[in-house]
Amino acid sequence: MANRIQNKLMEDKKLLSIYFTAGYPHLNDTVNIIKDLEQAGVDFIEIGLPFSDPLADGPTIQESSTQALKNGMTTEVLFEQLKDIRKSVSIPLILMGYFNPMLQYGIEKFCQKCSEIGIDGLIIPDLPVDVYHEQYQAIFEAHGLTNIFLITPQTSEERIRYIDSISNGFIYMVSSASTTGSQSGFGEEQQAYFKRIADMNLNNPQIIGFGINNKETFQTATQFAKGAIIGSAFIKHVTDKGTQNISEFVNKIID
């Protein structure tokens, strides 16, 4: 049975995914941000579980993570906030976070909770693909959760094909080796990488993240991929303008 992520990937359009940090700018903003993003026409939402040492994240996301933790966001609080989310939101919801808090919570229990709430997938940047495959894939799949892996310009073709073989959603294509939110526009080298991956004809569609911050970068990325993810630029928007003008941000990208 196809889940919400797979159904969305079958739609005949380029997909926009928005990442935000749960519990930022204020602890209880999480649910309203999700509802407003869906109403604004976003296709997926990635809900970031804040972590004290976020390796791949640039300063914007790190700062939002630090603030969310200060606000009191924890795994338990997030699950409590999201317990009724499926009464009002129907688009795919993906939790993005580091592996340690999930391990502390208990993997089986964590997956069970995600499933009960209606979370569709997980992105865990520091969970190695082979460890997932050998130890955790069966648990994730038993709870109907899609695990999404990241690839970068440095990932070997062999590794990419291995990731593709055990994936059942999309592949998160990191546009460059830098941290999130640190570049503007895509150079020839990045576009060559986008094209190289597109030409591999993988089974799973690709969605590009890192460096997408406006309509132009969204359109460039989606020439080569099924969709694109915006994180830092959206967090900057809610930092500067609050959570009242979410549709204004989204409209500038997809209108």
CATH assignment of the domain containing 180: 3.20.20.70
For the whole model, what pTM was predicted? 0.94
Residues carrying an active site annotation = 46, 57
Asked if the structure places residue 168 within a domain, the reply is yes
Asked if 165 and 132 count as a contact pair (C-beta separation under 8 A), the reply is no
Per-residue pLDDT of the chain (255 residues; tens, 9 = 90+): 568 999 999 999 999 999 999 999 999 999 999 999 999 999 999 999 998 775 666 788 889 999 999 999 999 999 999 999 999 999 999 999 999 999 999 999 999 999 999 999 999 999 999 999 999 999 999 999 999 999 999 999 999 999 999 999 999 999 875 555 555 568 888 889 999 999 999 999 999 999 899 999 999 999 999 999 999 999 999 999 999 999 999 999 997
The amino acid occupying position 136 is Y
Asked if the structure places residue 4 within a domain, the reply is no
Segments forming the whole domain that contains residue 195: 14-254
DSSP 192-255: HHHHHHHTT--SS-EEEESS--SHHHHHHHHHHSSEEEE-HHHHHHHHHHTTTTHHHHHHHHH-
The domain total for the chain is 1
Asked if the structure places residue 7 within a domain, the reply is no
Asked if the structure places residue 3 within a domain, the reply is no
